[in-house]
Amino acid sequence: MRYLSAFSALLALSSTAGAAVSRSEGRPQTKSYDGYKVFRVEVGTDASKVSGIVEKLGLSTWKGAPRAGTFSDIVVPPQSLAAFTKATVGMNSAVMHDDLGASIAEESAFQTYEVGAAAVNATWFNSYHSYADHLQFLNDLVAAYPTQARIVTAGNSLNGRAITGIQFWGSSGRGVKPAVVFHGTVHAREWVGTMTTEYMAYNLLTNYASNAEIKGFVDKYDFYIFPVVNPDGFVYTQTNDRLWRKNRQSTSGSTCIGHDINRNWPYMWSVSGGASTNPCAEDFKGPSQSSAPETTALAAQLRSVKASQGLKLFIDYHSYSQLFMTPYGYSCSATAPKNTELQSLARGAVAAIRAVHGTSFRYGPICSTIYQATGSSVDYTNDVVGADYVFTSELRDTGNYGFVLPANQILPTADEAYAGVRYLLLNMK
């Protein structure tokens, strides 16, 4: 398969370009997870037993409330370990992180990024990075391809950070072709989504001149890639709490912080069951639709692109669960107008992903594949913006590491994600 050659070249480059980076100290965290464990517990047919344990001990879960017939990934602090162990006697469970703090420290041993266009190489994907370095990497990528790329923004976050992305184009010039838009890291702790979307830009730009297929993609579409659409939350994961999910917005009458940007889009926001009305919940929908400034800004950018160029493809990247999903999230009974074609494309993308490293993804509509989600970017972009093709993907893994995915899985994750995108670009009408 031809797209594997790009990955092979990146691995070769990684071995020769090491001088561009050096190890640096991990970033400090205000909230310590030292001694915390993460357990994967089989829920069984009755979710109330696991839910009762979570509620009684005041524990947090990584993939929402426990649901029958699934596994629940539960974070347990040291002081609750004895009670949790006693409560789960007889249940099937496995340890995901024996010491979550140690896993975070290892993951957060960032490489120092050497500024400049010459530093744009595959070593970037050997580790995670600080937010400032992500911005620098995008600027350096533009500097390396100044006639073909530029920095773009989609408004500002609550705390005034620009929602920064990169736009690039092919031989026909900028802004004259249908657009492809990728979002990453709307949920702040999902760091591999940042790296994966950056890989899309890196791969397409650096191989444009030498790979006829990639040149064809970039000549056919303008690409807009926003690796971190929740910059305030992302920065907070690197300075205060690695497992923070939401933005950093307050709510009147509550001391809890954060709105879930991906439950706040102004479409099917008020449908019940797909988000929480509790400001302390991780999927808090906000007091009103579009209450999060990030949601408003991102929605406006998508509408603008659609109006000026047309929007061929939109993908919102998340982690974790290894899923490739289609509209709708707000309902498990509603069917998207292009559902038959969307399922066919998703099935092909999943097969292409698996062909790279053997990683298995499931596909289908969001609601029936993972859970109900209202006020989401996917449903909005499909029905309000009117993009031709809309997907969301949950990247690696399925529960060995969860949100704290080791850095050595960044490049394989990104490489197989590109294979899925490649399939779509080859097969969309």
Taking only the tens place, the pLDDT of each residue in 281-309 is 999 999 999 999 999 999 999 999 999 99
Examine the pLDDT at 1 and tell me if it is beyond 80: no
- 64: pLDDT confidence band, cut at 50, 70 and 90? confident
308-348 per-position pLDDT tens digit? 999 999 999 999 999 999 999 999 999 999 999 999 999 99
Burial class (CB in 10 A: 0-12, 13-18, 19+), 241: middle
Average pLDDT over residues 60-82: 95
Average pLDDT, the chain: 93
Q: What are phi and psi of 68, to 5 degrees?
A: -55, 140
- Per the listing, tokens 């950018």 go with 301
Q: Give the closest residue to 258 by CA, choosing from 237, 234, 284, 239.
A: 284
What is the percent of the chain where pLDDT is above 90?
90
pLDDT score of 351 more than 60: yes
Q: What is the pLDDT of residue 30?
A: 84
Percent of the chain with pLDDT over 70: 93
Q: What is the largest CA-CA distance in the chain?
A: 65
Long-range contacts of 274-283 (CB under 8 A, 24+ apart): 274/329, 274/330, 274/367, 274/371, 274/372, 274/373, 274/374, 274/375, 275/373, 275/374, 275/375, 279/251, 279/254, 280/254, 280/256, 282/60, 282/245, 282/246, 282/258, 283/64, 283/373
- Report the distance separating Cα 273 and Cα 133, nearest Å: 38
* 22-28-29-30 Cα dihedral, nearest 10 degrees: -170
- The mean pLDDT of 148-155, rounded to a whole number, is 98
Q: What is the pLDDT of residue 121?
A: 95
Whether 389 contacts 342, CB under 8 Å: yes
Structure confidence at residue 97 (pLDDT): 97
Q: Which residues are catalytic?
A: 394
The pLDDT of residue 262: 98
pTM: 0.93
Rounded average pLDDT over 195-209: 98
Residue 29's pLDDT is 63
pLDDT at 386: 98
Predicted confidence (pLDDT) at residue 5 exceeds the cutoff of 70: no
Residue 366 dihedral angles phi and psi, to the nearest 5°: -55, -50
How many residues belong to the chain? 429
Q: Which H or E run contains 194?
A: helix 191-206
Confidence of residue 10 (pLDDT cuts 50, 70, 90): very low
DSSP class of residue 25 equals P
For tokens 């690409």, the residue is: 223
Classify burial at 102, counting beta carbons within 10 Å of its beta carbon; exposed 0-12, middle 13-18, buried 19 or more.
middle
Residue 407 pLDDT greater than 90, yes or no: yes
Containing 199, the helix (H) or strand (E) segment is: helix 191-206
CA dist 7 and 10 (Å) reads 5
Task: Assess contact for 101 and 32: CB atoms under 8 A.
Answer: yes
Q: What is the amino acid identity at position 93?
A: S
CA dihedral 169, 175, 179, 185 (to 10 degrees): 80
